[in-house]
Amino acid sequence: MSAVLLLLGTFLLSLVGTAGVRRYALARSVMDIPNERSSHSVPTPRGGGVAIVLSFLLALPVAWGIGLIDARTSLAFLIPGAFIALIGFVDDHRHIPARWRLLGHFLGAAALLAAVGGLPPIRFAGEFWHLGLFGDALALFYLVWLLNLYNFMDGIDGIASLEAMTVCLGGILCYWLLGQESRVWLPLLLAGAVGGFLLWNFPPARIFMGDAGSGFLGLVLGGFSLQAAWAGGQLFWCWLILLGVFVVDATWTLLQRLLRGERVYEAHRSHAYQRAARRIGAHRGVSLAVVAINLCWLLPIAVLVCLERIDGLPGLILAYAPLVLVAALLGAGRPDGQ
């Protein structure tokens, strides 16, 4: 009963907190003003992701206190998560130069990586591979990339919130299928925190997430995947598969822009999801399409990998291949005129 009350309280705190952040943003003119690189047309308050951050982080010590998680897990996400959210909050209010922002991202990611024990042995071709320091370096860049790509992908109403919720629910299902019910609480609490915000962010959005929320979600979801890998090598592949829509769209778009020599840290609207939203003239259809892809395509493949019906890497390739094709067909990474 206490666990259910905590989950409900996390949702309600996020719901009420988002309303408070929205009033604050309107009073202080913390607004996202449309420009030629925007995917919206109406000035909208931003920074609502702070409510996600606060409700989830406040739930962690309570979850520890009632025995749902241990102290190390609570601190692993509490301190790095708060640090990354603080960087995003400051950047939402006054710009932080890209190099200093990136340095902060590496520091926060390194703290989380150390707290979860680094990169565990990864299951590949039926064997467990110990990558040592090289694996830890890869994991560090992986966390920083997830943190930033989540920021890149938070460009239309509801998409980042719905992605986080469906990925968490997919991860919960994989834990349950493997009989690891004790691990479901962190993703459940995050889904509850995001759910309260989603009621304000669902198209048409009344408030945007902002860097504080999007970067935080990217880091925490990456941390979940590394933590899961310690529980079972195939679980890392499951989380990576579930994150496929965001990983493929952001990575493909970045590579296309790099090949053209563009400044990848500059704002743009050439992601596949942004181009799709302009084609159909609405955000809701694209955000709901992401939900459908996650639940009807990526989740079944993740379950097959979880149950060891498919090996991790072949499952990842199977999951990502059509997403790459869709990104290419939509012209992800190309200039608007192409």
- pLDDT per residue as tens digits for the range 143-153: 999 999 999 99
Cβ–Cβ under 8 Å, residues 290 and 163: yes
Count of alpha carbons within 13 angstroms of residue 322, beta-carbon side: 9
Using a pLDDT cut of 90, give the percent of the chain over it.
Answer: 75
- Per-residue confidence at 1, pLDDT binned at 50, 70, 90? low
Q: What is the pLDDT of residue 91?
A: 87
Which residue range is the domain that position 289 belongs to?
A: 2-329
Q: Does 336 fall in a domain?
A: no
Residue 121 carries which DSSP code?
P
Q: Is 136 annotated as a binding residue?
A: no
Q: Structurally, how many domains does the chain consist of? A: 1
Query: Please, are residues 271 and 155 in contact by the beta-carbon 8 Å criterion?
Result: yes
* Residue 28 binned pLDDT confidence (cut-offs 50, 70, 90): confident
Q: Is 211 annotated as a binding residue?
A: yes
| Confidence (pLDDT) at 30 | 79
In whole angstroms, give the CA distance from residue 256 to residue 277. 19
Q: What is the pLDDT of residue 217?
A: 98
Within a domain: 156: yes
Token duo for residue 190: 């995050």
Return the closest-CA partner of residue 245 out of 174, 190, 294.
Answer: 294
pLDDT reading at 260 higher than 90: no
Residue 337 lies inside a defined structural domain of this protein: no
In a domain, 282, yes or no: yes
Assigned domain for 338 exists: no
Residue 195 inside a domain? The answer is yes
| Model pLDDT, residue 259 | 87
The length of the chain, given as a count of residues? 338
pLDDT-derived band of residue 79, with 50, 70 and 90 as boundaries? Answer: very high
Could you read off the pLDDT of 317-336 as tens digits, one per residue? 999 999 999 999 999 888 76
**What was the pLDDT predicted at 194?**
98
The enclosing H or E element of 165 equals helix 159-177
Please give the residue that has the higher pLDDT: either 325 or 280: 325
Q: From CA 223, how far away is CA 219, in angstroms rounded? A: 6
Contacts (Cβ under 8 Å, ≥6 apart) of 47: 21, 24, 25, 30, 89, 92, 93, 207, 208, 209, 210, 212, 213
Check residue 32 and give its pLDDT. 74
Instruction: Report pLDDT for 274.
Output: 93
Single-letter code of the amino acid located at 314? P
Specify if 335 maps to a domain: no
Asked if the bond preceding 121 is cis, omega within 30° of 0, the reply is: no
The predicted pLDDT at position 336 comes to 65
Section 40-59 average pLDDT: 89
Q: Which helix (H) or strand (E) holds 44?
A: strand 44-45
* Higher pLDDT, residue 282 or 289: 289
Q: Is 117 helix (H, G, I), strand (E, B) or coil?
A: coil
* pLDDT for the residue numbered 39: 57
Residue 334 lies in a domain: no
Q: What is the mean pLDDT of the chain?
A: 91
pLDDT at site 224: 97
The per-residue b/e assignment along 185-220, b for 16 or more CB within 10 angstroms, e otherwise, is: bbbbbbbbbbbbbbebbbbebebbbbbbbbbbbbbb
Mean pLDDT of all residues in 104-108: 97
* pLDDT computed for residue 281 by the predictor: 86
